[in-house]
Structure 1
Amino acid sequence: MKLIIATNNAHKAQEIRQILADSFSALDTLREAGLAIEVVEDGATFAENAVKKAEQVLAAAPGYDAALSDDSGLAVDALGGAPGVYSARYAGPQHDDADNNRKLMADMAGVPDGQRGCRFVCAVALARRGRPTVTAEGACEGVLLRAPRGENGFGYDPYFYYPPAGRTFAELTGEAKNAVSHRRRALESLRALLAQERRQRGA
């Protein structure tokens, strides 16, 4: 099965490729497929955005059997789940990771250590030709630090402390992060749903 990753985010594409490297005969990014497509992420949930991206990209990629998309972000308890679906543009549409982190730290300045729970959430969608689009979600619980730690990762990783590892996501290697990440959990859930679907067809 030829799969196209429906994202222009190089970091996400790398993570997805590492996790699914053995699952598809071909796994290409939009750039590798020669596609320049931007999907407006205006859904109210991560799942809505993921489905929209996957289906639009598959429609524009006739040489592929399926398109995989994800939408993910950080949900902070003290902020009522924000940044949420606005994680990539929390400080505004023209701002970068550093700007988003500065805004997040400003918004959390008065929140005590015991109330800084948060989670990374990921929704994945697999659009397939002639078949229903399948979605799955995964989450990874953590604590939001007051200062960044680590040089790896991207986005909010330097501030996301993962208690089981005793480190932030930015302090973990790519392999260690991928083993426990919200994206891996969502992809594993998707794999389970597809396996169940195959069993039902064979019954």
Structure 2
Amino acid sequence: MTATRVVLASHNAHKLEELRRIIGPLIPGIELIGYDGPEPVENGTSFEQNALLKARAAAEHTGLPAVADDSGIAVDVLGGCPGIFSARWGGPSRSDAANVELLLWQLSDLADEHRAAAFVCAAALALPSGEETVRIGTWPGSVLREPAGAGGFGYDPIFRPDGEERSAAELSPSEKDALSHRTRAFAALAPDILELAGE
């Protein structure tokens, strides 16, 4: 059987690499290809809506099945924020350092038992025919008091997964791939990709 070509609706080379690592073992017959078309305005009010916006735009542009994800960190005491605003929480610079600095300042007076959080990922699949679906993966944990570790990106240095003594930034790529919200979301989406996009 010829590998099914599925577009990853992102211009982020690091995300393409990570999702190839994640999706490859789940669906060996899928060839995940990069996307060079226009990106839609992410004006949804949930991770699910934004993931579907991206997947839908890529499917329409390429005429191929497309997958996309939208993810971020949700802090319990902040009512689920930063949430969909995770990438720009620290202001217009959209820098990881500014995002982390602001979140740590906001939680600085809170005791450890009130620092619960989760990484959340919505994984979406859209077909040129208009069929689409989205699945959610969560990775529960808590926000540390200061960054730890040099790996990962985003909020990884200040996120400690439940059951771990290390931050997400201290995990190896394979350890993170085995546990992450993104892996959980795409594992849930894999049967849909096989059913809807498979040949």
TM-score by length of 1: 0.88
Matches within 5 A, 1:1-203: 1-22=4-25, 23=27, 24-30=29-35, 35-62=36-63, 65-193=64-192
The 3-state SS of whatever aligns with 2:174 is helix
Q: 1:4 to 1:140 in 2, by over 3 A?
A: same
Q: Is the 8 A contact 1:11 1:154 kept in 2?
A: no
Amino acid at match of 1:40: V
Q: Is the 8 A contact 1:78 1:111 kept in 2?
A: no
Q: CA RMSD for the aligned pairs?
A: 1.6
Measured after TM superposition, the shift of residue 36 of structure 1 is 4.0
Amino acid at match of 1:129: P
The 3-state SS of whatever aligns with 2:57 is helix
Unaligned runs of 5+ in 2: none
Measured after TM superposition, the shift of residue 88 of structure 1 is 0.5
Unaligned runs of 5+ in 1: 199-203
Measured after TM superposition, the shift of residue 75 of structure 1 is 0.1
TM-score by length of 2: 0.90
Regions of 4+ moved over 3 Å? 192-195
Mean CA deviation greater in 5-14 or 134-143: 5-14
Measured after TM superposition, the shift of residue 163 of structure 1 is 2.9
Q: Which residue of 2 aligns with 1:201?
A: none
Structure ranking higher on relative contact order (CA contacts 8 Å, 6+ apart): 2
The size of the alignment, in residue pairs, is: 191
Measured after TM superposition, the shift of residue 194 of structure 1 is 5.2
